[in-house]
Structure formats: structure tokens, C-alpha cells
Amino acid sequence: MALPAYATTGQRVWHYTYRTFCGLVLFFLVAPLIVVIPLSFTSSAFLIFTPEMLAFDPEGYSLRWYRLLIGDCSDALVTTVCSDKWVVGAKNSLFIAVVATTLATTLGTLAALGLSRPEMPYRKLIMAIMISPLIVPLIIVASGMFLFFAKFKLVATFTGLILAHTALGLPFVVITVTATLVGFDTSLTRAAASLGSGPTRAFFKVQMPLILPGVISGGLFAFITSFDEVVVVLFIGGRNQMTLPRQMWSGIRQEISPTILSAATILVLFAIVLLVTLELLRRRSERLRGLTPA
């Protein structure tokens, strides 16, 4: 946003200094991606920029590691280490994330509807407990989940991982849906009730369409959290619950391969698509609530 014409010299200096500082912080956060993405296209088996890559020679670039990522063993140079473990990890991550997101979105939306009512007792205490996974260090959360799930024999099972990821994604849904309900006009549901609509019909026909952007945003946050989670998987998951982030973690410890960078690049692009979707949903929610002009 441009400065107004009446801005003083000090205000202009502060404005541009602040923008420069924000740009440097953003560059610091994005700089690792500038290295990871080009290296994922290397033709070398080592994590280095070869002279051919620096000279932009096409011979220095290859999709070899992306083919290895999907289990394509046609390349003779990588046949000895080729397997479908990356594909299996991606399928497991997708399955766990979809189920956990569905549960977290459903339970989080119901919880937000109750927490948004001012007459609900102990509302602040319940809210603090529900968002505690965002505050407590993840290693402590994972340790507590392991000890609790071990009593019910849920360790090394998909059910345990799904429940754990649901608990991690639930706070994001609660926060986003609760924030959306703050600007909701409750007179709309009262008007629907006065016209003969029951609570369930009023919710799905009146309230749900207006808070849907917040629900979807919370669901996407929960999906990203589940899909990228590795600490909880290390504690609760077993050999049969190998997810994509866990496979990347194991690959870093056991074998340094550009395949890890290929997987990281795909995850980065996937996260960018989801974040753009979240921003579009946020703007749509603001337009529906009348906070920004259409």
C-alpha cells in the first residue's frame, strides 16, 4: 500500500525500512527452498551443484530422482536402490491425512459451535485445553500419546495414528471456525426458526454456507499438519505405517539421496497450492461477512 502524499520524511523512512526488513526476513525463510528445488533436478547422485548445472547445461539436469520417487526403476544408475517405498509412504500419508482431517473438521466444527455461545460454562478453560497441542512442545505431546495409546494397544496401528493426527489438527479447526462465528449474525438462525425451520435444517441451510470458508480453511490446516507430521509417527507408527515424512527422515539418516529433495519439492509445491487456497477462502469469507467490498 502506497504512502499518502502528506506523509512526513520520518514516516517514509520508517515505511521503507520496515518493508526492507520484512523482505530480508522472507528471503531468510525462503532461501533453503532456492537450494532444494534446483538440486532435486540434478543428474548427479550427490547433493552438489555440478559444473554442468552451474553452466545451465541440459546434461546436468534430470528427472531421474522424480522417476525413482514414483518407483520407476528404468534408470540403470538407480536400479540398485529403487523400490516403491516412497509411493507406499505417500499413500499412507494421504490416507491418514484424509481420515484425520475429516474427523478433526467434524469434531472441531461442533466444538466451535458450542464454544461460540456466551452462555456455555467454562468456555475459556475448554478452549485452552483444546488448543493445548499448539502450545505444548510436540515431543511432549507425542510422548503422552504413546503412553496413553499403549494401554489400549493402539501403538503401531493406523487407528492410533489417525486419532493422534486428529488431536493435532483439531485446534486449527476450532480456532478458524470460532473466528468465523465471531462475525456471524445470529438473527439469521432466529429468523429461520421463526419460519418453521428446525435446528438441523437451519444449520445446514443458513449457518453452514456462511461459515463454510472457515470450516474449509481449518480442514486444510489440519490436512497440512497431518500430512507433514513426523514426530508423532516416530512415536506411534510402526513398520507398516511408513509415511512420506517418516520416509524422508529415514532417508536422511540412512542414505543421502536427491530423491529426498524431490519429495521435499513436491511437498513445498503442495503446501503453496493449499496456502493460496486458504488465502482465497479468507477473502471470500471477508466478502460474505461484509468486511471487504465485493
Q: Where are the domains of the chain?
A: 85-288
Does the pLDDT at position 226 exceed 60?
yes
Does the pLDDT at position 217 exceed 70?
yes
Of 78 and 185, which is predicted with more confidence?
Answer: 185
> pLDDT-derived band of residue 162, with 50, 70 and 90 as boundaries?
very high
The alpha carbon dihedral of 213, 216, 222, 226 has a sign of negative
CATH-assigned architecture of domain 85-288: Orthogonal Bundle (1.10)
Lowest mean pLDDT among 51-55, 89-93, 276-280, 288-292: 288-292
> pLDDT-derived band of residue 203, with 50, 70 and 90 as boundaries?
confident
Does the pLDDT at position 27 exceed 80?
yes
- Crossing angle for the helix pair 85-115 and 208-227, to the nearest 10 degrees: 140
Tell me: the pLDDT tens digits for 181-196?
A: 877 777 777 788 888 8
Lowest mean pLDDT among 89-98, 113-122, 214-223: 113-122
In the chain, DSSP finds a helix count (H) and a strand count (E) of 14, 0
Q: What is the DSSP letter of 84?
A: S
How many of the other CB atoms lie within 10 Å of CB of 7?
12
Does the pLDDT at position 164 exceed 70?
yes
Does the pLDDT at position 32 exceed 60?
yes
H/E/C letters for each residue in 105-127? HHHHHHHHHHHCCCCCCCHHHHH
The mean per-residue pLDDT over the stretch 31-60 comes to 82
Q: Cα–Cα distance between 255 and 261 in angstroms, integer?
A: 12
pTM of the model: 0.79
Q: Give the largest Cα separation in the chain, rounded.
A: 75
* Cβ proximity of 169 and 229 under 8 Å: no
Q: State residue 291's pLDDT score.
A: 59
The span from the first CA to the last CA of the chain, in angstroms, equals 19
Q: State residue 25's pLDDT score.
A: 92
Q: State residue 288's pLDDT score.
A: 64
Q: Cα–Cα distance between 39 and 265 in angstroms, integer?
A: 10
